[in-house]
Amino acid sequence: MFIDQVKLKVTAGNGGNGAVAFRREKYIANGGPAGGDGGNGGSVVFVADEGLSTLLDLRYNRVLQAKNGENGMAKSCHGKNSDDLVVKVPVGTIVYDNSTNLIIADLTENGQRAIIAKGGRGGRGNIHFATPRNTAPELAENGELGQKREVRVELKVLADVGLVGFPSVGKSTLISVVSACKPKIAAYHFTTLVPNLGVVGVPDGRSFVMADLPGLIEGAASGAGLGHQFLRHIERTRVILHVIDMSGMEGRDPYEDYVTINNELAQYRYKLLERPQIVVANKMDIGDAEENLKAFKEKVGDDVTIVEISAATRQGIDQLLYKTADLLEKTPQFPLYDEDEVEQSVTYKFKPEEAKFHISRGDDGVYVVTGAHVEKIFHQTDFNREASVMRFARQLRQIGVDQALRDLGVEDGDLVRILNFEFEFKD
């Protein structure tokens, strides 16, 4: 089964909690803090594997979760870091963040790796909080939460040349003649249901990869037929071979076929008509093909490159391969997306510093404090230990939460909520 689009939930592992422990050994008095750090949580990593050709494995495993890091231990022992969850995907896979629609990774080379969800850092043990004024701290950090995100994974086949055209114009026959690919060939429309790839050898020793795509019809760019589902596979190609049934045996006019398919390519994203195109006049051994070709040339003019072939009898095949290989040599790769469509892990542009917190009033009258920074220190606090709670209160005061609440008119005894934690405000 060919699967080229899957939606997944990915969750990286949480960092392990730091430990509160003290050195207790015979003949060693006042040993001091000895709580180790927690281990880092595992990340979810995608790796491109040229041995795969479909996203079928992900279709039946739509929740990917890495393991958490191990908690810190006594005697300053560091918790074990969790192994990354490595997921193999086909070469040509693009991963999108489902909420922002930005590209997280574009895996185009065998062995290429991308971190899709990053594991949380382990919390620090109490050995890190010892000071001259507090030589025996009962304070440690919880580990950071691992990243959670919903992603859309798309496979766009890696091919140099794409075959496009109406159903039953001879695309599958052509790729079966010029390569070792053996697609299903039959005398009915939409015989090809999935893209077929074949390595084509040119008689002079050159080679390229050709993709036979399911037939397009009018409205394909809007979802009609199979076109919308598989038009994405043309995006990586550098040259388009537009196969036309010049015999007219299906009762359609070759020129109208040509215009209709090009209109669909123009309406699809990524400017597919900017790619160089060769018109492959197929079935030249049948009936009125010569007469139809003459009328076709008069309508399209001299600017369109046309190669006459008969895939069934192999007439004109070598000429087509030479022209295609020559065109590939001078055609660069076309960008699939703009820079603003890619998720930036590092940016050098100036951006105003975002507020560390935001305060609103809930429907129940409770003051609600939100913000990534506040929520991060909340998750790293062990509320079972008084020292950790006091540190959390100091951190809120340092970033200005206390003063902001006063400015909003909060009074002693009013409830303040952070995530699922509520406390009374006391000045």
Annotated binding site for GTP: 165-172, 190-194, 212-215, 282-285, 310-312
Q: How far apart are CA 412 and CA 398, in angstroms?
A: 19
Locate 353 and state its tokens.
């510093």
Q: DSSP character for 327?
A: H
Distances (CA, A) of 427 to 393, 397, 404, 410, 414: 12, 11, 12, 9, 11
Binding site residue list for Mg(2+): 172, 192
Residue 413 burial class via C-beta count within 10 angstroms: exposed 0-12, middle 13-18, buried 19 and up: exposed
417 CB contacts (<8 Å, ≥6 apart)? 362, 366, 367, 368, 369
Distances (CA, A) of 231 to 35, 163, 165, 199, 228: 57, 11, 11, 20, 5
Q: What angle do CA 331, 334, 336 make, to 5 degrees?
A: 165
CB 156 within 8 A of CB 53: no
> CA neighbours within 13 Å on the CB side: how many for 204?
10
- Residue length of the chain: 427
Q: What angle do CA 152, 2, 343 make, to 5 degrees?
A: 20
Q: How far apart are CA 262 and CA 246, in angstroms?
A: 16
E strands present in 255-365:
277-282, 305-308, 358-361
Least Cα distance to 191 among 177, 176, 179 occurs for 176
Torsion angle of C-alpha atoms 129, 135, 136, 142, degrees rounded to 10:
0
Q: Give the DSSP per-residue string, 133-159.
A: S-SS----BPPPPPPEEEEEEEE----
Binding site residue list: 165-172, 190-194, 212-215, 282-285, 310-312
